[in-house]
């Protein structure tokens, strides 16, 4: 697995990088994990409902938050500083060629990664993503697109990002449950940099342990 660390980068520029890497993987290159920390942005997925935006686009811009329509699945979510976004550009023909399995394996990757901080992550059907606690709060959101069995988009893991921005939307269209972060869960700061190596290791464990 190749890893590309984009540092802190705006969403649209990172999306262009994704597209180039997808073309590479389609042409036979190795599976590639892109890591990035985005500038503040709301991304609207294929299942977006207008009512899940609580402000107008102009009001979001006044707060320094871009609004971008994407081609991933899911509804609306927030990305911003303090959140580790992971784009696994993988050829699913090497990993079961099954979209349901792919989503569950992405969840498993986060669950495995969270054990590095002693956090017990879990699934919460029918909602996609990784959750903690009871009542549940989402710590990692997911949305993907598959092109010719190569994956795009992926996972957003809340590390030490302020959570107030999520109050400006209905995150992933879910009214009744909140969001949390690594830092909130363990009571000490966990930065994006702190999270990168544990999550890279989790990807290697879930997808490449047999290698």
**Architecture of the domain delimited by 2-208:** 2-Layer Sandwich (3.30)
**Strand (E) or helix (H) holding 3:** strand 2-9
pLDDT at residue 210, as a whole number: 57
Could you report the per-residue pLDDT of 48-78, keeping only the tens digit for each? 898 989 999 899 999 999 999 999 988 899 9
Could you report the per-residue pLDDT of 140-184, keeping only the tens digit for each? 999 999 999 999 999 999 999 999 999 999 887 777 788 999 999
Q: Is the pLDDT of residue 211 over 70?
A: no
- Rounded to an integer, the average pLDDT of 12-37 is 97
Among the listed residues 142, 172, 199, 206, the single catalytic one is 172
pLDDT at residue 116, as a whole number: 97
Beta strands 41-44; 66-69: pairing state: parallel
Distance (Å, rounded) from C-alpha 148 to C-alpha 150? Answer: 6
Distance (Å, rounded) from C-alpha 141 to C-alpha 43? Answer: 12
Question: What is the end-to-end Cα distance of the chain in Å, rounded?
Answer: 11
Task: Supply the mean pLDDT for the chain.
Answer: 94
- For 31-166, where are the E strands, in sequence order? 32-38, 41-44, 66-69, 76-79, 83-89, 122-124, 127-132, 137-147, 150-158
Q: Give how far the C-alpha of residue 144 lies from the chain's centroid of Cα atoms, to the nearest Å.
A: 9
Per-domain residue ranges for the chain?
2-208
- Rounded to an integer, the average pLDDT of 13-30 is 97
Is 172 in the active site?
yes
Beta strands 150-158; 137-147: pairing state: antiparallel
Tokens of 67: 């609004």
């Amino acid at each position: 697995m190749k890893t590309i660390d984009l540092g802190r980068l705006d969403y649209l520029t990172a999306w262009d990088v994704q597209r180039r890497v997808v073309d590479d993987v389609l042409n036979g290159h190795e599976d590639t994990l892109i890591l990035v920390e985005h500038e503040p942005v709301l991304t609207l997925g294929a299942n977006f409902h207008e009512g899940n935006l609580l402000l107008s686009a102009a009001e979001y811009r006044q707060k320094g938050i871009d609004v971008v329509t994407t081609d991933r699945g899911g509804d609306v979510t927030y990305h911003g500083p303090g959140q580790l976004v992971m784009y696994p550009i993988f050829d699913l023909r090497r990993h079961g060629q099954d979209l349901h399995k792919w989503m569950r394996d992405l969840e498993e990757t986060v669950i495995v990664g969270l054990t590095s901080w002693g956090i017990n992550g879990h699934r919460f059907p029918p909602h996609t993503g990784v959750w903690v606690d009871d009542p549940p709060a989402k710590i990692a959101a997911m949305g993907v697109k598959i092109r010719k069995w190569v994956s795009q988009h992926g996972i957003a893991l809340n590390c030490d990002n302020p959570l107030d921005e999520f109050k400006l939307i209905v995150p992933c269209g879910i009214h009744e449950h909140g969001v949390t972060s690594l830092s909130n869960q363990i009571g000490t700061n966990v930065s994006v940099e702190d999270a990168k190596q544990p999550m890279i290791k989790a990807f290697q464990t879930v997808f490449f342990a047999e290698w």
